[in-house]
Structure 1
Amino acid sequence: MASAKESDDSPNTPSSPNNVFKDPDDGRQRFLLELEFVQCLANPTYIHYLAQNRYFEDEAFIGYLKYLQYWQRPEYTKFIMYPHCLYFLELLQNANFRNAMAHPGNKELAHRQQFFFWKNYRNNRLKHILPRPLPEPPTALPAAPQPPVAPVTSVAATTIAMTAAPTPALSPMQYGIPSGSALGKSELRTGGVDRRKRKKEV
């Protein structure tokens, strides 16, 4: 009886906490392998490969995908370089998505939508991150522009120049006498006769 009790209490029994398996490198190698596999799920082509080779029909593999959901916790997401893998990991929990990814058309569709997300993510994100400019305060309406006032010196100079300049005498043609009228011709002729007479008298 004593030997049976001693065998039950011995540290070599499977139920003993001393027999818990420990990684020789404290789980570093396992951590890196799981991190690499999870990040491979960011590639729709790789998911299509898994579906084509019927990995999603294996219950053990589906259980492994459920186990890998711990990478969505904040203390593990800081090691993820390709965040799309977490989104696809969540989608892979659905049997309809797993079956759909076996078709090449769905693989191309997922890849195309992923490209559009990368293309527009930065611009869409900056709309919410960058501070918006504050609204400008209402300003009073501008006054109506007044016509420019000429300086006094220029006005005085123009008036002096106008009064000082002699006005030239207007010719008969500028008084509105028609060129073909008899009055104009007779005046011009008499004026010419008078000049000749004066020259002869002198």
Structure 2
Amino acid sequence: MVGIVNYGAGNIFSLTAALQRIGVEYGMINQVSDFDRYDRIIIPGVGHAGAAMQKLRETGLVKDILRLKKPVLGICVGMQLLTAYSEEGNADLLNVFPLKTLHFDQRVQLKVPHMGWNSVRAENECPLFQDVPDNTYFYFVHSYFIEYSGQYTGAVCEYGLPYSAAIQKDNFYGVQFHPEKSGKYGEQLLLNFSRI
């Protein structure tokens, strides 16, 4: 059963609709005691990373998220929160991954935000991508990206430069794209997470 961290910064409706479509049971995590009810945790997120981190701190859940040994998946801004730092709001984040979240501006000569479908190539045998063909297209909406890291990158995407479309470390995973809005293979990724 999947617990969704409900901290006021996520597009929860699309995510819960996708989980319903694939038959994965879910509930909301509003307080520390709720973590015990679930064997998988999702941190959703849209909008501003610095503001999202502040909202997450206000819930009092940060220490408990960092102590989790269960599989954890960050989606979009939820993935960025798992990094050490974001240029968005000059914010210190959860620091699960010793990586930075950077702005596309001044780094690419392409339209920002990066919005729409882009192909993703799995790396480092990331279990999220089991039964997902290489170069599958997923749906992105973001102006900030997580730097490419050979060690922690679970999948790579190119948008003027290569960056981490997915990351993995121990029981923590993240995806920059929105699997809940990415059709069949997005649903496959969520199903894979529910089985890790």
Same fold (TM over 0.5): no
Q: TM-score, normalised by structure 2?
A: 0.24
Task: From the two aligned structures, give the one with the greater strand fraction.
Answer: 2
More contact order relative to length (CA 8 Å, sep ≥ 6)? 2
Between structure 1 and structure 2, the one with the greater Rg is 1
The TM-score normalised by the length of structure 1 is 0.23
